[in-house]
Chains A and B, each alone.
Chain A
Amino acid sequence: MTDANPYGEFETAWCPGCGNFAIRKAMVAALMELGLPPHNVVFSTGIGQAAKAPHYIRVNLINGLHGRSLPAATGVKLANPELAVFAESGDGCSYGEGGNHFLAAIRRNIDLTYVVHNNQIYGLTKGQASPTTPKGQKTKTQPHGAPSEAFNPVAVAVTMGAGFVARGFAGEVEHLAGLIAAAARHPGFSLVDVLQPCVSFNKVNTYAWYKERCYRLGDDHDPTNRQAALDRALEWGERIPLGVLWRSDRPAFGPMPTGPLAVREPDLKTLSGILAGYA
């Protein structure tokens, strides 16, 4: 771990007390632990309060469209496998608008680290239900309570045999930093779903609410046991497990290009042979 922080300090546009601050802190700590220089790191983000996070870290950044952090990240990694690629966004962006991309990314298993700020609400658009809002929880736009069952991202990821699935909590920065670093070291697709209090719009899932329920998985949890991982992934309510739920050595996407595509010269000699084949 290097001491001097090369990732800079920035002014943010988040509400005071928001869980995003802690996630940013954990992210910087993880990057420092990984010893990654900022110019070798690319963050791809969607849209939302969470998606702004990498604007407050000195890294390469492609801050794109709502729900599309993963396709852009996939393109970046395919174009230059030498870059360390992170995708980061909120739960609405990641599991709502970006749901199809989430499933495809798990299937593809390209070496990406996906950090989702899961505040169980839409922050930037001011408090509508998100895919992870519990059924029945009232919001301004769901006055009779969220009508649909909540999406369980970690259970879905485990079920699909994702490469690496972890859950962190913004109230436990050091633990979260460790999870992010471990996810980044995993050579395939890794999900870190982070429980994040939104102090402005989610009055149910507060710091206190999470603190009361969250517990860390101990050594007795075997993250390579799919059934055990699924049991923990489904645990939600009175007790909520934090830590690495599931890890697999499933083969990564392949074949990946060797080296950056940018340095490839168009091979006109080969092409002229190909053209001759059309005679």
Chain B
Amino acid sequence: MARSSVNVVIGGEAGQGLVTIGEFLSRALTRAGYAICVTQDYMSRIRGGHNTFAVRIDPVAVAAPDEAIDLLVALSADTLDIHRGDLSPRALVLADAAVGLGGLPGLAVPYKTLCPKPLYENVAALGVAGALLCLDAAILSGLVAEKFVAKGEAVVAANLEVLAAAMDWAKGQEATFACLAPPTLGPGRLMLHGNEAIALGALAAGVNFSSFYPMTPGTSVIQTLIDQADAMGVTVEQAEDEIAAVVMAVGASYAGARPLVSTSGGGFALMTEGVSLAAMLETPVTVVVAQRPGPATGLPTRTEQADLDLVLYAGHGEFPRAIFAPGDVSQCFHLAHLAVDTAERFQSPVFVLTDQFLADSFRDVPPFDLAALPAVARPLTTVDDPAGYVRYAVTDSGVSPRLLPGFTEATVVLDSDEHTQDGHITEDLAVRVAMQDKRMRKLTGLTAAALPPDLVGEAEGATLLACWGSTLGAALEAAESLRQAGEPACVLHFSQVYPLVGQCFLPILAKARRTVMVEGNYSGQLASLIRRETGYVFDARVARYDGLPFTAAFILSKLREATA
């Protein structure tokens, strides 16, 4: 690639503060006007182990993580050993002078002399890395001051001193690391990770209730809601289990709250009965499923895209649903908003499928235009004829007027058994058919509203890389590499994976020279779904299920293997 993208990896034990350094650096870069893409790799433990925080930086745009490391900030000796083989030809290593460089090219940083206390080593590491990247000192010191302001002036001053000393020290070294090219992006952009963006998109859609049970990597969605709960008027309750969490959300939704539930595959497995309940009661609920590798608890802190089938088929019986799969952080925000609206509009369960990689991946995003967001559908608090109100009135669209209990003289009756239009249990089998037809008619509306996949590039005679969710960035970069090598290539990204509308993409697939489905699971779940829905069979597949996110290099190497 022509762009001068730089990959910085901070590695160390859990508890050594690498996330602090990484977040600092990422925010400074965003403020300076660079594009970033963060990959957090961590082990399922609170202390020790080996974790990394990788920031890929580019003056123009960056879509995916990279594998080769340009600047390695090693907080432990392990980091040097583990990443020895991943260094790019121009790589530089920053390690504590006490640990040494182990023969690698780089700088031994005298943290002991730069810092009055080990506590300040994070800021010193930030200063050294920042100076080598030629980041503006004012941006770094501004951030450090903001971060420590709550701890008092003395702490701020001490940290600023360490920062300045570290930057000075680094500038005085004869390091062969080239400065970043000047940034091209304007100011005012935000830095957030996928789960933050999902929570904020949900807040923008008026979400005001969440019942949850913690499970990585779904929890940080709710944590973000909780952080803003007081300011935004959100009621959050930690439920006793996932079953309670989703059923509580259904109950709250019935009574007029706008709920968001977030979990991971293992928690969602428990929620499935509540999903079926929401469908039968025709009560909106938005569920975020942040995927991680299974089966069972799998690799708790790694990434995968293997829960599409679980979400697609979750719940007993047949009912319509919508499943969104954001490809980047901006899509996380907008699709969370759309998911909430879709749930409200169709009075159905609606899902947002994300994964650990995107959940934890900080990116730079342009600010969101809240005023431009469409209004979200709302339930009724009044009706003309309360005495004649029935909850499940049969309609052409399958969507019935949804009145909230307690606001009028009408009573609102919901039943999970098959029910009459007024909500009461029935075993009249003709009513059963009419009700099932009514519920399933919503699928027509959901299909009409479904997002078509995005085509990036020209499909005619090209290698078409199809993908969904967070694989987008790596696929885009792989396609660009192919084009630069003279091979026509394009990307077809599904940000909604159900319902699928074949007419929207089959003609595109037909134009391509070869079609490859790239997805983060063993069995090719979206490829199978497309085959089931449309009969289309992809020419090839690229699968990844080792717990790591896709990179362009991974996709390209698999493509080479396939053609070799």
A interface list, Cβ under 8 A from B:
13, 37-40, 42, 44, 47, 52, 55, 58-65, 68, 70-80, 82-83, 100-101, 103-104, 257, 260-268, 270-272, 274-276, 278-279
Contact = CB atoms under 8 A, between A and B. Distances in A.
B416 A65 contact: yes
Contacts of A267: 231-233
Given A55-B415, A70-B244, A80-B404, 17 more contacts: A39-B408, A42-B255, A42-B405, A60-B413, A61-B413, A68-B274, A71-B239, A72-B250, A76-B252, A82-B406, A265-B206, A268-B204, A271-B204, A272-B370, A274-B228, A279-B30, A279-B188
16 contacts: A38-B411, A39-B386, A60-B411, A68-B277, A70-B244, A72-B251, A74-B237, A75-B247, A78-B257, A79-B255, A83-B406, A262-B257, A266-B204, A274-B203, A276-B367, A279-B30
Interface residues of B, number: 70
A211 to B, nearest CB: 32
A264 B203 contact: no
A267 B206 CA distance: 8
A177 B188 CA distance: 64
B231 A270 contact: yes
A82 B381 CA distance: 14
B89 to A, nearest CB: 35
A52 B413 CA distance: 12
A72 B232 contact: no
Contact of B251 (A39, A62, A260, A264): A62
B404 A262 contact: yes
A63 B391 CA distance: 13
Interface of B: 30-31, 188-192, 196, 200, 203-206, 208-209, 211, 228, 231-233, 235, 237, 239-241, 243-245, 247-259, 273-274, 277, 281, 367-368, 370-371, 376, 379, 381, 386, 404-417, 423-425
Given A52-B425, A261-B257, A271-B200, A279 B252 contact: no
B208 A264 contact: yes
Interface of chain B: mostly helix, strand, loop or mixed? mixed
A125 to B, nearest CB: 14
Contact of A75 (B190, B196, B251, B408): B251
A39 B206 contact: no
A26 B245 CA distance: 32
Contacts of B258: 261
A65 B407 CA distance: 25
Contacts of B407: 260, 262
Given A42-B406, A274-B228, A278-B191, A264 B254 contact: no
A63 B414 contact: yes
A63 B413 CA distance: 8
Given A52-B425, A279-B188, A274 B232 contact: yes
